[in-house]
Structure 1
């Protein structure tokens, strides 16, 4: 579909862009859900990335504000993901350091039975 002029195809054009924005919003929803459950961040690579539709032309003027809000939302999510990933890396380095510091090359115990 090419970018229509001011013809009867304007509603199809707007609907195509609305569907594209909806797909981006669903992806942002999925990222927000993952951030709420940070232990599942490793699954981010399993999700398909948004692919912009081909051939629908420029964004209709009436969808500009929605697209602007969505871009800001994605930037905010990107920042949150970066922070979460950095935190996970820091925790992984700490765990690695703790494991290396055990006596005789053995990892330190993580459970001590004091009943004996």
Structure 2
């Protein structure tokens, strides 16, 4: 017999529901995220250089996948994890070559 009881804490369910509801607006609001932030770009570029080309990295809480895509473009083998399936739909649409999965940290 398989136990199908949902043990997800209420705050996780509430967070998922919220981000699912605002995903498209969030992605549009922060469309220029990394491109408009030179310090963020520099830190992420330095990180990619330290990790090394081709190394596997997971972006936990990836949202619409902007940082995931940026790091992939720098040569890292990226994957993304997010709680919100709506955020993941955007991440997959904008980064078709990167695997994204739904889950909780």
Relative to its length, the structure with more helix (as a share) is: 1
TM-score (ref. length: structure 2): 0.22
TM-score (ref. length: structure 1): 0.21
Relative to its length, the structure with more strand (as a share) is: 2
Higher RCO by CA contacts (8 Å cutoff, separation 6 or greater): 1
